[in-house]
Chain A
Amino acid sequence: MSAVIQHAEAAGLEAHAADFPILARPVRGRRLVYLDNGATTQKPGQVIEAERTFYRESNANIHRGVHWLSQHATDLYELARERVRGLLNAAHADEIVFTRGTTEAINLVAQSWARANLKPGDEIVLTSMEHHSNIVPWQLVCEQTGAVLKVVPITDAGELEPGAYESLLGERTRLVALVHVSNALGTVNPVREMVERAHAVGAVVLVDGAQAVAHQPVDVQALGCDFYAFSGHKLYGPTGTGALYGRRELLAAMPPWQGGGDMIRTVAFEGSTWADPPQRFEAGTPNIAGAVGLAAAIDYVRGIGLERIAAHEAALLAHATDALQAVPGVQLIGTAAVKAGIVSFMVDGIHPHDLGTILDSEGVAIRAGHHCAMPVMTRFGIPGTARASFALYNGERDVAALVDAIAKAQRMFGTRSDA
């Protein structure tokens, strides 16, 4: 694709900023330049309206009422599950378990699948670029089962060390848990190849897709993974929503991890029996309105097209990378060959938190800190980074605002004479 066409597409997507009411509000008296999409994305009017309409017209509990409204709410909830299936191209809707988000989805696999299947000495392979939510649940399960963690190191560019993953895989490897797109570095991992290698040694693979699903098409059948976790709120959907994809045979054999209503078939004090997946893993009244909002978010991004969103953000990433590298004193952290729309950086002589405060005064919202990926910061020997992360509504003017605000911080700190 030529640069000209990419640019035209980019301009087309920026117009979608008008779909997001919050982007019209000033912050610190300035136009809001929202570049903290890795933390959470803003919500389009379509999502806000879907939740509102649900409460105004469709609210009832699901899977239990005989009355019309309950059936209606159940239909909407199950339609949302079908939307998630479509987003991930899962083979069956019953392979989709609704969760509060990525974190809960990973904990579900840890406490259900891993706790039931791992034995002392079994190995879980992770990477050094995992978010804490794909580290700590496995540490907990290691304490419970006697399994051990093996960690794939990363290079200075923020890519997995060549050959290291393969050398860690072995007959004791039971599970590989890896991030699709690194939230701290932007690195896109070669998931498909890694899944093939894991399967070759008989290991099960969980993919943390929190930073992937909103930014590129994801096809769990093409990736071949066994579990895929994501959050709705990073996909323009409501907070407290998300899902776990799990291969049917695996889910069917997994014990419940939370008990309550909706997840049982029969309950007696002598013992209870479990519902089939996915209900087995959805104890209690779920976030029904949230699921409806999530479905609206999926319709929204698929309506625009994830291929187009990916192309738009790739063009913006390339532009932002060039623009930041042209700023004296700026050092990028994470320069992998294949990256998503995340730019982590340091500015000489200015701590990321000071930078974050000064950028905020210009209306530029970024994340400053360790991004819940402390091992990544340790690897690079830094306390944290500043991070700009893009969404479909960002454009080149947002990058220009970021670069201008960095220059202002450098003038304030006296670290740049020409700015």
Chain B
Amino acid sequence: MTGAHGGGIAHADLRELYQEVIFDHNRKPRNFHPMPEADHVADGHNPLCGDQLTVYLRLEDGRVADVSFVGHGCAISKASASLMTEAVKGHPVDEVEALFRDFHALLTEQAPERDFGKLQVLAGVREFPARVKCATLAWHTLHNALSGARETAKTE
């Protein structure tokens, strides 16, 4: 954010942030429904943004058998939640937790060596520190749901 031009080549950065995948998942979020048969549920809320979501999980033999979410927020938070549900469905819980750690690092620190698949589109958030919390809210909420934490997840 420093420097004579205050943020450098903003337009390339902006396109990195708002890729077509983000708009697609914002308009048509996947796994976007409540899940009455869920065995793990957690709420996430960023009071400053007003972003609010609930993540539902059904676990089977240490795997995420099903996952869904409901809520409202900006395009980044909604698309991130939608992409997350696709990325974790069917995967073992320990893999999901490892993916959360790596994904968080992708947005905030050194990008870890791994194939992030579609989640890679969110890497552009790195150039917009104020928006990292939008992209990570769903993941923190998922983490709370997995660990049975009862408090509402927050990323701000």
Cα distance, A358 to B13, chains bound together (Å):
10
Within 8 A of A (CB), among B22-52: 23, 47-52
Q: Is A357 an interface residue (CB 8 A)?
A: yes
B48 pairs with A361, CB closer than 8 A:
no
Known contacts A353-B131, A357-B17, A412-B18; is-contact A383 B72 (Cβ 8 Å): yes
A384 pairs with B49, CB closer than 8 A:
yes
Q: Residues of B contacting A30 with CB < 8 Å?
A: 10
Cα distance, A361 to B131, chains bound together (Å):
14
Q: Residues of B contacting A361 with CB < 8 Å?
A: 10-11, 13-14
Taking a contact as CB atoms closer than 8 A, the residue among B7, B48, B72 that contacts A29 in the complex is: B7
Known contacts A412-B18, A413-B23; is-contact A383 B51 (Cβ 8 Å): yes
Task: Considering the complex, give the chain B residue whose CB is closest to the CB of A408.
Answer: B14
A377 pairs with B6, CB closer than 8 A:
no
- Chain A 6-46: CB-based contact to B (< 8 A → 1; otherwise 0): 00000000000000000001111110100000000000000
Q: Residues of B contacting A119 with CB < 8 Å?
A: none
Q: Is B8 an interface residue (CB 8 A)?
A: yes
Q: Is A166 an interface residue (CB 8 A)?
A: no
Cα distance, A32 to B10, chains bound together (Å):
13
Q: Residues of A contacting B98 with CB < 8 Å?
A: none
B9 pairs with A351, CB closer than 8 A:
no
Known contacts A353-B134, A354-B74, A414-B23; is-contact A29 B10 (Cβ 8 Å): yes
Q: Residues of A contacting B50 with CB < 8 Å?
A: 369-370, 377, 382-384
Known contacts A26-B5, A27-B7, A413-B75; is-contact A357 B14 (Cβ 8 Å): yes
Taking a contact as CB atoms closer than 8 A, the residue among B5, B47, B75 that contacts A28 in the complex is: B5
B44 to A: closest C-beta gap in Å:
14
Cα distance, A358 to B130, chains bound together (Å):
13
Q: Is B92 an interface residue (CB 8 A)?
A: no
Known contacts A29-B9, A351-B74, A370-B50; is-contact A357 B128 (Cβ 8 Å): yes
Q: Residues of A contacting B7 with CB < 8 Å?
A: 27-29, 360
B131 pairs with A357, CB closer than 8 A:
yes
Q: Is B90 an interface residue (CB 8 A)?
A: no
Cα distance, A382 to B13, chains bound together (Å):
29
B73 pairs with A26, CB closer than 8 A:
no
Cα distance, A105 to B18, chains bound together (Å):
43
B39 to A: closest C-beta gap in Å:
30
Q: Residues of B contacting A358 with CB < 8 Å?
A: 14, 18
Known: A353-B74, A357-B17. 20 other contacts (CB 8 A): A25-B4, A25-B6, A26-B6, A27-B7, A28-B6, A351-B75, A352-B74, A353-B76, A353-B131, A354-B75, A357-B131, A358-B14, A360-B10, A361-B11, A369-B49, A374-B47, A383-B50, A383-B72, A383-B73, A412-B23
Interface pairs (24), CB distance under 8 Å: A26-B4, A26-B5, A27-B6, A27-B7, A28-B6, A28-B7, A28-B8, A29-B5, A29-B6, A29-B7, A29-B9, A351-B75, A353-B49, A354-B75, A357-B17, A360-B7, A361-B11, A369-B48, A369-B49, A377-B50, A382-B50, A383-B73, A412-B18, A412-B23
Q: Which residues of B contact A (CB under 8 A)?
A: 4-11, 13-14, 17-18, 23, 47-52, 72-76, 128, 130-131, 134
Q: Which residues of A contact B (CB under 8 A)?
A: 25-30, 32, 350-354, 357-358, 360-361, 369-370, 374, 377, 382-384, 412-414
The 8 closest A-B pairs by CB, nearest first: A383-B50, A351-B74, A28-B10, A27-B6, A361-B10, A353-B74, A361-B14, A28-B7
